Structure 1
Amino acid sequence: MSDSLIHRLLPRHLGLIRSIADKGQISLAANALAITQPAASRMLAEIERMVGSPVFIRTPKGMEPTPVGSVLARRAHTVLEEIRETAREVEAIKKGHTGVIRLGAVTGGAVGYVVPAMRVLKEEAEDADFHVDVAPSDALIADLLSGHHDFVLGRVPWGTDARQFALTGAFAEDVDLLVHRSHPLANAELLPITDLVHFPWVMQAAGAPVRRAVEAAFISQSAPIPPNIVNTTSLLVMIAMLASSNAVAPMSREVSELLCQDARVAGLTTLKIALPIRVEPYHLIEIKGKRLSPLSNRMKHLLLEEYERRSLGAAGELPIT
């Protein structure tokens, strides 16, 4: 049995071998494969010429495999199952139901948009492999340019040529000021931000979007920037500081709602400030011309669907009178 002959065996040949071995009759095998018995007989003769050996022998009980036939039947089952599995995987990839997705997001975008979209996509594609990084925009854009991310939810940093990107949406980001429930101002109403100057603060370093928005709020009220600031990007450090002091921590609303939804976890609450604080919007950012996989494209559409839903909801809100 030469390699050149074996390599000429096709899936239809293997299917017939396996079917005859299972059914024990060439007529039954032909019916199972939806071909005529004469066609099945011709194909079996073709197989035996390729192999150079009988594959089945006829007995009073039906068709029984020869030793060569037994090997071929066993291998045929494995090969055919591999072919079927390959076809299923290819179809799943084409439909966006499997594969790998790598994306990054600023904290508010990760909590408010990525997690809900990922939950929906996991129901459609439970075998999909997700890699989600949460980081400041400069790190996200650097990873996007290096090919580490398919796309990101973030902002184009100052000094970066925005012409190389495709930007979609303008995701609004409101800021809440978090404190512990025991904070002296926890129950105050319409609190002027100027009353918070002399409290300790814990927030990201100077230049971070949330930090800039908080500083702008103080400047707009002709108030000095709080002098007592702990700089950190760690959410755990922020929570620990809030739980053990009268510190104030600015966070995107999506994160604050997540932390405050169960007060027993950290005992946190938001201050009721008089004037809202809003950060410059972030965007869904891609490299221009980069083709996304079906899975990444599905994730992108889920994010944008949620964005459109929220945008329409905000547009439809009526002012309170």
Structure 2
Amino acid sequence: MEVRDLEYLLAVAGRGSVLRAAEQLGMTQPAVTKAIARLEREVGMPLFERDPRGMVPTVAGAALIARARKIHLEHEDAVRELGELRAGTVGLVRFGFSPTVGASLLYGACNQLLQERPAARFQMRERLGDELLGALLGGDVDLVVARIPDIDVDHVSAELLYMDRLFVVADAGHPLVHRRNVRLEDLTQQEWVLPPRRVQLRQQIENAFGERGLPPPKLRMEIDSNRSAMLGLVQGTRSLTLCSEDALPQLTYLRPLDIRPESLDLRRRIGILHRSGAYLAPVVCRLVEILKERSNSVERSPERLG
């Protein structure tokens, strides 16, 4: 089985048609058709079937496609590693991070790495959790610093950095800011600024309301953007949003509500995610070490973590 044929298989699966796959690959349609036929002869089963949506993988096809994606990424890793060694560009660090992760930890680690390795270069992506996982699994980044998913993700390894807690925050003039022991029931009539429902942060708070038999938060604004945008849109309004522990000291215009952790448990695990068994350049491994060292040195208040 040739790596080249597996690339053609992935193109057909991704585009849903032999014709579109051939256009993407810059090949003729018969050449791609022959490649798929070769694979089908090797496995002894059809890999695709046609329906109104186009070329749809069979059960055997889906299994081979999953393997092919892994082989493709491994092949790209090997080519990249050898290319970096040949070109002397082993100092490139490609990593993504969540906007709700502690900026001081991330930027401090990057600055330390730059001091230690002056030749290091960074490609950084600030994205929400699901987008980061997609970039990681797609091979666009080598490393992600974000919330560790509550369920295991295939082909992804996670190392815990620290535990933190999110807070419900409001403008300093909001009437709930000065109330003690705010109940979850008190929040049902409030309006919220939240990320899209696909984001684990949004799911977490909606699940908390649902577990108490309460309707989901009333959405005033849904924003698929970074932390600063969400927090800025709450300033001067009666809306609520969520804020990480790390960002609270810098937010003079927002205040956390006094909600007991047992009423709304917003603790989470922040960690380093990477593809299981993927190639990590030495400079990337050093960044991992620095993140762990700096995370261990940060003192976190137990009472604030619930």
Per the normalisation by structure 2, the TM-score is 0.60
The residue type equivalent to 2:194 in the other structure is M
SS where residue 287 of structure 2 aligns?
helix
SS where residue 107 of structure 1 aligns?
coil
Task: Give the Cα–Cα distance (whole angstroms) in 2 for the partners of residues 190 and 166 of structure 1.
Answer: 38
The residue type equivalent to 1:274 in the other structure is R
Task: Give the Cα–Cα distance (whole angstroms) in 2 for the partners of residues 228 and 108 of structure 1.
Answer: 20
Q: Does 1:274 align with 2:286?
A: no
Shift of 1:182: 0.9
The residue type equivalent to 2:199 in the other structure is A
Q: Does 1:239 align with 2:225?
A: no
Deviations 1:253-286 (A, max 9, x none): 223344x2xx2xxx22221212253254343122
Q: 2:131 aligns with which of 115, 127, 139?
A: 139
Q: 2:293 aligns with which of 305, 311, 318?
A: 305
Q: Does 1:116 align with 2:102?
A: no
Query: Which residue is equivalent to 1:36?
Result: none
Task: Give the Cα–Cα distance (whole angstroms) in 2 for the partners of residues 218 and 317 of structure 1.
Answer: 25
Contact preservation (8 Å) 1:202, 1:230 = yes
Task: Give the Cα–Cα distance (whole angstroms) in 1 for the partners of residues 302 and 243 of structure 2.
Answer: 24
Shift of 1:300: 0.8
Task: Give the Cα–Cα distance (whole angstroms) in 2 for the partners of residues 240 and 153 of structure 1.
Answer: 23
Query: Which residue is equivalent to 2:178?
Result: 187
Shift of 1:195: 1.1
**Larger Rg: 1 or 2?**
1
SS where residue 228 of structure 1 aligns?
strand
Contact preservation (8 Å) 1:176, 1:277 = no
Q: Does 1:129 align with 2:121?
A: yes
Contact preservation (8 Å) 1:210, 1:279 = no
Per the normalisation by structure 1, the TM-score is 0.58
Q: Does 1:286 align with 2:266?
A: no
RMSD, matched Cα:
3.1
SS where residue 103 of structure 2 aligns?
helix
Task: Give the Cα–Cα distance (whole angstroms) in 2 for the partners of residues 176 and 192 of structure 1.
Answer: 14
Alignment of 1:1-321 (within 5 A): 99-109=91-101, 111=103, 113-154=105-146, 162-169=153-160, 171-234=162-225, 235-258=227-250, 260=251, 263=252, 267-275=253-261, 276-309=264-297
The residue type equivalent to 2:113 in the other structure is L
SS where residue 229 of structure 1 aligns?
strand
The residue type equivalent to 2:257 in the other structure is L
Count of residues in correspondence between the two structures: 215
The residue type equivalent to 1:304 in the other structure is K
Task: Give the Cα–Cα distance (whole angstroms) in 2 for the partners of residues 318 and 155 of structure 1.
Answer: 20
> Structure 1: where are the runs of 5+ without partners?
1-89
The residue type equivalent to 1:192 in the other structure is R
The residue type equivalent to 2:130 in the other structure is D
Q: Tell me: CA distance 1:302–1:203, structure 2 relative to 1, closer, same or farther (3 Å).
A: same
Contact preservation (8 Å) 1:114, 1:303 = yes
Contact preservation (8 Å) 1:175, 1:210 = no
- Give the fraction of aligned pairs with identical amino acids, expressed as a percent: 20
Contact preservation (8 Å) 1:210, 1:251 = no
Deviations 1:124-147 (A, max 9, x none): 234422222111222112212232
